[in-house]
Amino acid sequence: MAPPLYRGRFAPTPSGPLHFGSLVAAMASYLDACAHGGEWLVRMEDVDPPRVAPGAADRILHTLELYGFQWHSPVMYQSRRGAAYCAALAELQRLGQVYRCICSRKTLTENARRGVDGLVYPGACRALNLDTKHAGMRFRMPAGRAIFDDAIQGRVACDLVTECGDFILQRADGVYSYQLAVTVDDAEQGISHVVRGADLLTSTPRQIALQQALGLPAVRYAHLPVALDEHGDKLSKQTLATAIDAADPLPALKIAACFLGLMPPAGLANPDEFWRWAVAAWPSRIARPVRGYRPTPCNS
């Protein structure tokens, strides 16, 4: 059977329970997949052991289930994907796209300038050809621009060298970076569409550069605007980081829908009814791109 034309995913980092911010991302990617008749996959981004909270992955899956999300099995765990990341890194090395870097965080902070997302690596180790064992592995960013049409943000263009710069693929302690893992895994899972928060918009050019270097298929992106409170301010970490109530899904589902600009009607009695309504309402939402928006206060 031919693979579906649409494959979306939700890729939480299991550093704690599912919180409101991730519910919004999960809901948007799920609704977009369902509304396109596609599949929705879940991936645990547990690539960085110190960030993982014991038991959090299972709790997130359990909460998603209680909230009525249905995903295509199996769930992917980045902690089990070391061999794939190692192979991708070896391929990039073969292509001459990787070099070892021994710069400390302190050296970087002192010498690097700010780019679109954090510091742009100033290139101290780029031409040194180090073969030091305890070193990070850095991607040699090719010259050029990443240009993509984001379904929500519109056309995004980024100069790879001046705005992003060379970035880490594997840390000196052996941990693979989010950028490498997510790129390899989106391809492995056959993801065609990524819907996620705009806080990751600045990561996308790096992932596109990696896809191109590794000859992986392009992905379509939609980056959700950051939700604002009634004063037009970004929601505080406190608000977004509050764990959602696993035992009572409907209120949080409705509030998350409001954040996405949907207007849940009064009288939705349970998650099943909610999802039936939301999948039908979603296409008109994504078709109205906005740059920043205020969550509509929800009374029901």
Of 56, 184, 200, 208, the residue at the interface with ligand GLU (CB under 6 A) is 200
**What are the residues whose beta carbons fall under 8 Å from the beta carbon of 119, sequence distance 6 or more?**
108, 109, 112, 113, 165
Contact between 11 and ligand GLU per CB under 6 A: yes
Which residues from 18-57 bind ligand GLU, rule CB under 6 A? 45
- The size of the interface with ligand GLU (CB under 6 A), counted in residues, is 7
Contact between 164 and ligand GLU per CB under 6 A: no
Tell me the pairing of strands 136-139 and 98-101: antiparallel
Provide, rounded to whole angstroms, the least separation between the CB of residue 203 and ligand GLU.
Answer: 7
Contact between 17 and ligand GLU per CB under 6 A: no
- Binding range to ligand GLU, per CB under 6 A, among 9-17, 87-95, 100-108, 231-239: 9-17
Judged by CB, which is closer to ligand GLU: 200, or 257? 200
**Residue 124, phi-psi category: left (phi > 0), alpha (psi -120 to 50), beta (remainder):** alpha
Closest CA to 261 of 292, 236, 220, 223: 292
Q: How many alpha carbons fall within 13 Å on the CB side of residue 123? A: 8
Provide, rounded to whole angstroms, the least separation between the CB of residue 14 and ligand GLU.
Answer: 9
Q: What is the DSSP letter of 299?
A: -
Of 13, 63, 97, 192, the residue at the interface with ligand GLU (CB under 6 A) is 13
Provide, rounded to whole angstroms, the least separation between the CB of residue 196 and ligand GLU.
Answer: 4
With b for 16 or more beta-carbon neighbours within 10 A and e for fewer, the 187-225 pattern comes to bebebbbbbbbbebbbbbbbbbbbbebbebeebbbbbbb
Provide, rounded to whole angstroms, the least separation between the CB of residue 43 and ligand GLU.
Answer: 8
Tell me the pairing of strands 193-197 and 113-114: unpaired
**What are the residues whose beta carbons fall under 8 Å from the beta carbon of 220, sequence distance 6 or more?**
151, 192, 193, 194
Judged by CB, which is closer to ligand GLU: 17, or 264? 17
Provide, rounded to whole angstroms, the least separation between the CB of residue 267 and ligand GLU.
Answer: 33
CA distance 1 to 255: 38
Judged by CB, which is closer to ligand GLU: 11, or 222? 11
Provide, rounded to whole angstroms, the least separation between the CB of residue 252 and ligand GLU.
Answer: 18
- Binding range to ligand GLU, per CB under 6 A, among 6-14, 33-41, 99-107, 121-129: 6-14
Which residues from 252-291 bind ligand GLU, rule CB under 6 A? none
CA distance 60 to 244: 10
Judged by CB, which is closer to ligand GLU: 51, or 126? 51
With residue 282 as reference, give the H or E element that holds it: helix 271-286
3-state SS of 144-175 is CEEEEEECCCEEEEEEHHHHHCCEEEECCCCC
Of 19, 81, 196, 223, the residue at the interface with ligand GLU (CB under 6 A) is 196
Which residues would be at the binding site for ligand GLU (CB under 6 A)? 11-13, 45, 182, 196, 200
